[in-house]
Structure 1
Amino acid sequence: MREWWRGSVTYQVYPRSFQDDNGDGVGDLPGITRRLPYLADLGVDAVWLSPFFRSPMKDMGYDVSDYCDVDPVFGTLADFAGLVARAHDLGLKIIIDQVLSHSSDQHPAFAESRAQRVNPKADWYVWADPRPDGSPPSNWLSVFGGSAWAWDARRKQYYLHNFLASQPDLNYHNPEVQDWALGNLRFWLERGVDGFRFDTVNYFFHDPQFRDNPADYRAKPEAEGNPYGMQYHLFDKNQSENLAWMERIRRLLDEYGAASVGEMGESHHAIQMMGEYTAPRRLHQCYSFELMGYEYSAAFFRGKLSEFFAGAPEGWPMWAFSNHDVVRHVSRWAEHGASQDALAKQAGALLLSFEGSICLWQGEELGQTDTELAFEELTDPQGIAFWPEPVGRDNTRTPMVWDGSDYGGFSTARPWLPVKPPQLARHVAGQAGVAGSVLEHYREMIAFRKGSEALVAGRTRFLDVGEPVLGFVREAEGEGLLCLFNLSAVAVSVTVEGVGGLVGPVQAASLEGQRLVLGPNAVAFMDVTGEVGVRD
C-alpha cells in the first residue's frame, strides 16, 4: 500500500489570512475549520497550517514563545482539537509548522539562558565571546539584514540570530535542546496531527568554531537589496549534523505514522540537498525555492526535476510554485501568459503533473496575484528593512477572497492587511461552478491527478521537444500519459505519435490527425498507446 503522502497534494493555509470568524480582522482557527469543506471539495489531501502558536508576532508567528499552546489571536487548544476532528471527518490530513531552529526572545528558556553564563539553560542558545576588538565572533549575516550576532549586556556575549534579533537560534549541539524539540513534536502528535512542516530545516546546526563565511563566487560585485546573498553560507548553516538530527526526528514520527516535509532555505545546491534530506530514514519530503523564481522555460523545469531524481533516486520532492515567502507565480510569470487566467490554469496543470508531492498556496487556485502595498501598509520586518526592494512578503499574504463583499468575505472588520480591488475581483463565489474558471480548472486537474496512477506514482521521461514546449511522459505499471505544455503566449504545433486522443483538463489544444496545435499557454494530456514521439 502506498504511503498517503507520496504524490499527495497539500494546501498551505496562512491562519492570519484565511478566515476571520471573531471579527477582529485577523484569521483564526474556527474560521479555518468552517472553510475546511471548501478544501475537501477542492480535492486536496492535506492542509498545512502556518504557525498559530503563542508569539509576540514580531515575525508573524515564526517567533514562538510557547510551542505547546495556541496564540489567543487564533483561538484555543480546544479550537485546534475541533479543527483536527473536522478535517479528519472530511478525509483531510493536518500538517502543522514547526519553527524549531530558533525561538522568540520572549521564550522562557531564552530569558533564563541570557540571565547569566551558568544556569540550566545557559547553553540552550548559541552564545559567543566578542573578538578582541569587540566585534562579533564571525561575519555571519542575518537573513533580515545586518550581522547575525546581537550583543547581550547581561552575559557580555553575542548570541546568534539567523533572522530577527528577537529570534535567537537554539543550540542543537546541546542534546537537551534536541530532547526538548522532540517533546514539542510529541505534544502535537498526541493531539492527532498527521505531520509537520519544518521551517528552515538546514539551519539547525552551526559551525562551533564560528569560522567566517567566504564571499559567494556568483555574487555581483555591487550590493543587492539584501547582502545576505553575497556570502557562501558554509558555516552558519548546512552542517552535516543536520542529517543525523533528521534521523532522530524520523524515528519519532515513525512511532505515530506521521509524515514530514522540510523547507530547504538555501540558494546553493538546493536540489541536491533536498535529496540528501529525504534519503531513507530522514525526512519524507522536502521543498526548496528553486521553482519560485522568475524563470519559466521548458529547459528550466526539465533541468530541475531531472537533477533531483538523478541525484536522489530514493528521495522524494515536494514541488511548489508559490508560498507565503515569495511573489505569487501569476505575478512573477505574467509576461509568459496570454492572459492571467490562461497562465494561472497552465501553471496549475503543470505543477500538478510533476513527479513527487505538490503544495498549493492559498488563493493560487483563483489565479490570485500579489497585492501592491504602500510602505505604511507593511507589517513584514523583511519588507520594511529592505524597502523598496525586495518587496517583502506581505504582498502575497493578503487575505483569502471568498466573495465580492467588503473585505472579500474574510472578515467583518478591517483586515490586518488590505484586500484591494485587483484581488477582490478574484473570489471563490465568482468562480465556483463556473466552467472555464481557474478554480474549476484546479478542481478538475486535482481530480485528474488523483485518478491517474501515472501522475500520482509514475516515473518521468522527458522528451526532446524544442522551446517553448515542455514535454514528458509519466509512466506507471500498465499506464502512460503524455504531458505537453506550450510555455508561451504564441501558438505552436507539433506532430505526435504513439498516443490516443486528448484526455483530462485540456487547455487551448486541438488534435487533427497526428498534428497537435498548442495555442497560447496550452495544456495537453494524451494516453500512451505505443512508442511516443513528438516532433516539431
Structure 2
Amino acid sequence: MVSLQLSVHDDRPLPPDRDWWRGAVIYQIYPRSFQDTNNDGIGDLAGIIGRLPHVASLGVDAIWISPFFRSPMADFGYDVSEYRDVDPMFGTLGDFDALVTRAHELGLRVMIDLVLSHTSDQHRWFQESRSNRDNPKADWYVWADPKPDGTHPNNWLAIFGGRAWEWDGERMQYYLHNFLPSQPDLNFHNPEVQDALLDVARFWLDRHVDGFRFDTINFYFCDKQLRDNPALPPERRDYSTAPEVNPYNWQDHLYSKSQPENLEFLRRMRALMDEYPAIAAVGEVGDAQRGMEIMGEYTSGGDKMHMCYAFDFLSPQLPTGTRIAAIVKEFLRVASDGWACWAYSNHDVERHASRWNLDDAQMRLYLAVLVGLRGSLCLYQGEELGLREAYVPYEDLQDPYGVRFWPKFRGRDGCRTPMVWSNDSAHAGFSEAKPWLPVAFDQLPLCVDAQNADATSLLNFYRHMLAWRKTQPALVKGGLTLHDHSDTMVAWIRDHPEGDVFCAFNLAPEAASVTLPEGSWDPIEGSGFEGEIRQGSATLPAHHALFASRKR
C-alpha cells in the first residue's frame, strides 16, 4: 500500500461554527467494509478517501468513522492497544491526515470513534497494571479480590456473555470486563486514568478532527463498592441492547454502569473540546431501562455532551405511531434542553430494513419520520441503498458475539458485510481479493452504480430528502410539539422563528386523514411526498408523509 504522507498542518479546517452539529446529518463509516485499496480484503483509510465523493453527494454534514486504531482486532477495533496510532491494516497517520483534508475539501466534518471505557488486554497500560499490585498503573483498571470461596467479586454479567470478571494469575485477582475478557475496563475513579484519556482526545483534536463519537459512554464508571445488580422482572426486560437469548437482560444494571460520577468526567471532556473552535460529540448510551433518561442527563446544561443516542429506534420493535409518540414524549420529558442523535441502524444491530421488514415505500416513509424528528441524524453505510441484513453462514462468522450465541443470535456480521458499489466487478467493487466477510450477492441489484443510474432509486430519494430538509430551518433546528398519534399515524409541529412545519406520517397500507392544528397551512412542495389539505384536515396516501408550513 502506498501511504499518503501528508503533514498534519496541511489541513484547512472548515469555517468555525460551534453550532454545526445541531440538526446535522452524520454518516457512519465502518472502515473494514467500506473500500479496500491494497487488496487484502479489508477496507482502509485510503479507500474511504476514494469514496468520500459518494458520501458528500448524499448531502450529509459529517462522517463518523468506526475505530481504526492499533488493535489485535478481537472486537474489530473496539479493543484498542494504542490510541495514538492507526492500525497498519488501515494505513498510517499520514493516511488519516489526508482523509481529514479531503473530507474538509468536500465540506464534510470528521468525527472519530473513541473507545474509552476499556482497552485491549494487549495495551501497555494493562500489561503494566497486571504485572503486580504495586506498579504505577496498578489501579488503572478495575481489579477485585475473589470472594473467600474463590468465586467472582459480584454477580455482574458481560454483554458478550458470561461473567463480567476474568481471573488473572499474575495479580491473583479478578478484573472487570463488560464485553470480551480481552477488553478490560479502565478505572475512571482514578484521576490519572481520566487525564490520560483526555490527552488521547487532545491528540486527535490537534490533528483537526471535528468531533467524537464516544462508545459506551455510560460504562465509564462502575460502583466503587461493586455491589450486586438486582434481578430485573421479566416484564421489564428489553432486548434493544442485548438479544433475548442473552441473560444480560435478566439484571437491572444499577451498579455496573451509569454511575453519577460520570457527569463530572463528561464536563471535563466538554471543557477540553470547548478549547477548540467547533468541536462536537455524540455519546452512545447503552441502557435498555433508563437510556432516554441518561441521554437527557448527559446532554443537559450545555456543559457535557452535545448530543447522545439511546437504543429506542435501534430495537427490534417496529416503530408504530404509538411507539414513535411515546419515544418523542419521553425525550421531551427528560431532555427538553438536551439534544438527541437519532439512528435506525449501525454496526451493532440488524439493518432496519430487515429488522422491521420494510418495503421500499416504508423505507422512504421512515426516512421522512427521521427527517422530521427534533435532533441530529445518523445514517449507517448502505442504509441509503436500502440494504437488508446479509446472511452469513456459521463457517464465515467473524463476530465473537455471534459465535457465542449461534444460532438463536447470529451476531453483527450481517450488517457489516462489504459495501456494494457495482454489480459488474469482483466482490461488488469493494476489493479484488476475497473480503474479510463475504459479499451479500442478493444486495448487488441495490449497488451504488445501479441506483445512481435510476432517478427513482432509494439512493436518489435519500439525496433529495436530505437536500430538501436543509431548506426547512424548522426541521433542522426547530422545536417539537406532538399533535396527534395512533398506531398507524403520528403527527407533530416543528416550530421555528422563520416559520412552523407540520409533519404527519401515515404508517398504514391505506389512505388516512389527519386533522390539522389551528392556523392556515399550505403543503410544502419538493419533499417527495403528496398530501391534500382541505378544510382543516389532510388526506395522506398509504405510507406517505405530509409537510405543511404556517408563517407566524
TM over 0.5: yes
Match of 2:12 in 1: none
Instruction: Please state which structure has a larger fraction of its residues in strand.
Output: 1
Deviation of residue 134 (structure 1)?
A: 0.5
Deviation of residue 249 (structure 1)?
A: 0.4
Deviation of residue 489 (structure 1)?
A: 2.4
Instruction: Check conservation: 2:498, 2:551, Cα contact below 8 A.
Output: no
Q: Deviations over 1:140-191 (max 9, x none)?
A: 0000011000001111100000000000001111111011101111110110
Instruction: Check conservation: 2:281, 2:305, Cα contact below 8 A.
Output: yes
Name the CA distance, whole Å, in 2 between partners of 1:501 and 1:346.
17
Instruction: Check conservation: 1:11, 1:46, Cα contact below 8 A.
Output: yes
Match of 1:278 in 2: 299
Deviation of residue 467 (structure 1)?
A: 3.3
1:259 maps to 2:280: yes
2:339 aligned partner, one-letter code: W
SS of residue paired to 1:383: helix
SS of residue paired to 2:229: coil
* 1:204-243 aligned within 5 A: 204-218=220-234, 224-243=244-263
Deviation of residue 321 (structure 1)?
A: 0.8
* 1:59-458 aligned within 5 A: 59-218=75-234, 224-257=244-277, 258-280=279-301, 281-293=303-315, 294-334=317-357, 337=358, 340-405=359-424, 406-458=426-478
Instruction: Check conservation: 2:351, 2:387, Cα contact below 8 A.
Output: yes
- Distance verdict in 2 for CA 1:453–1:433, change over 3 Å: farther
Deviation of residue 421 (structure 1)?
A: 2.2
- Distance verdict in 2 for CA 1:437–1:55, change over 3 Å: same
1:518 maps to 2:540: yes
Match of 1:38 in 2: 54
SS of residue paired to 1:462: strand
Q: TM-score, normalised by structure 2?
A: 0.92
1:461 maps to 2:461: no
Instruction: Check conservation: 1:502, 1:511, Cα contact below 8 A.
Output: no
Deviates more, 1:304-313 or 1:255-264: 304-313
- Distance verdict in 2 for CA 1:69–1:219, change over 3 Å: farther
Instruction: Check conservation: 1:126, 1:160, Cα contact below 8 A.
Output: yes
Instruction: Check conservation: 1:260, 1:284, Cα contact below 8 A.
Output: yes
What is the aligned length?
524
1:341 aligned partner, one-letter code: D
1:504 to 518, 526, 532: 526
Match of 1:58 in 2: 74
Instruction: Check conservation: 1:201, 1:264, Cα contact below 8 A.
Output: yes
Deviates more, 1:58-67 or 1:311-320: 311-320
CA RMSD of the aligned region, Å? 1.7
Deviates more, 1:212-221 or 1:270-279: 212-221
Q: Deviations over 1:18-59 (max 9, x none)?
A: 111111111000000111111111100000000000000000
Q: Deviations over 1:205-230 (max 9, x none)?
A: 11121111000124589x94100010
Name the CA distance, whole Å, in 1 between partners of 2:307 and 2:211.
11
- Distance verdict in 2 for CA 1:301–1:512, change over 3 Å: closer
Instruction: Check conservation: 1:8, 1:358, Cα contact below 8 A.
Output: yes
Deviation of residue 463 (structure 1)?
A: 1.5
Name the CA distance, whole Å, in 1 between partners of 2:489 and 2:455.
26
2:511 to 485, 491, 495: 491
Q: Deviations over 1:391-440 (max 9, x none)?
A: 21111111111111331111111111111222112111111252221111
User: Which consecutive residues of structure 1, in runs of 5 or more, have no partner in the other structure?
Assistant: 531-536
1:296 aligned partner, one-letter code: P
1:470 maps to 2:493: no
- Distance verdict in 2 for CA 1:512–1:129, change over 3 Å: closer
User: Which consecutive residues of structure 2, in runs of 5 or more, have no partner in the other structure?
Assistant: 1-16, 238-242
SS of residue paired to 2:85: strand
Deviation of residue 121 (structure 1)?
A: 1.1
Instruction: Check conservation: 2:499, 2:551, Cα contact below 8 A.
Output: no
- Distance verdict in 2 for CA 1:123–1:452, change over 3 Å: same
Instruction: Check conservation: 2:531, 2:545, Cα contact below 8 A.
Output: no
SS of residue paired to 1:69: strand
2:88 aligned partner, one-letter code: P
Deviates more, 1:345-354 or 1:181-190: 345-354
SS of residue paired to 1:10: strand
Deviation of residue 517 (structure 1)?
A: 3.6
Deviates more, 1:237-246 or 1:384-393: 384-393
Q: Deviations over 1:328-364 (max 9, x none)?
A: 1111111xx4xx2112211212111111111111111
Name the CA distance, whole Å, in 1 between partners of 2:150 and 2:263.
34
- Distance verdict in 2 for CA 1:345–1:64, change over 3 Å: same
2:103 aligned partner, one-letter code: A
Match of 1:534 in 2: none
- Distance verdict in 2 for CA 1:390–1:220, change over 3 Å: farther
Deviates more, 1:340-349 or 1:146-155: 340-349
2:495 aligned partner, one-letter code: E
Instruction: Check conservation: 2:523, 2:546, Cα contact below 8 A.
Output: no
- Distance verdict in 2 for CA 1:351–1:285, change over 3 Å: same
Deviates more, 1:285-294 or 1:520-529: 520-529
1:482 aligned partner, one-letter code: F
Name the CA distance, whole Å, in 2 between partners of 1:370 and 1:423.
9
Deviates more, 1:406-415 or 1:78-87: 406-415
Name the CA distance, whole Å, in 1 between partners of 2:549 and 2:106.
32
SS of residue paired to 2:295: helix
2:270 aligned partner, one-letter code: R
Name the CA distance, whole Å, in 1 between partners of 2:533 and 2:496.
27
Instruction: Check conservation: 1:349, 1:442, Cα contact below 8 A.
Output: no
Instruction: Check conservation: 2:325, 2:485, Cα contact below 8 A.
Output: no
Q: TM-score, normalised by structure 1?
A: 0.95
2:313 aligned partner, one-letter code: L
SS of residue paired to 1:31: helix
Instruction: Check conservation: 2:421, 2:429, Cα contact below 8 A.
Output: yes
Name the CA distance, whole Å, in 1 between partners of 2:144 and 2:405.
28
SS of residue paired to 2:192: helix
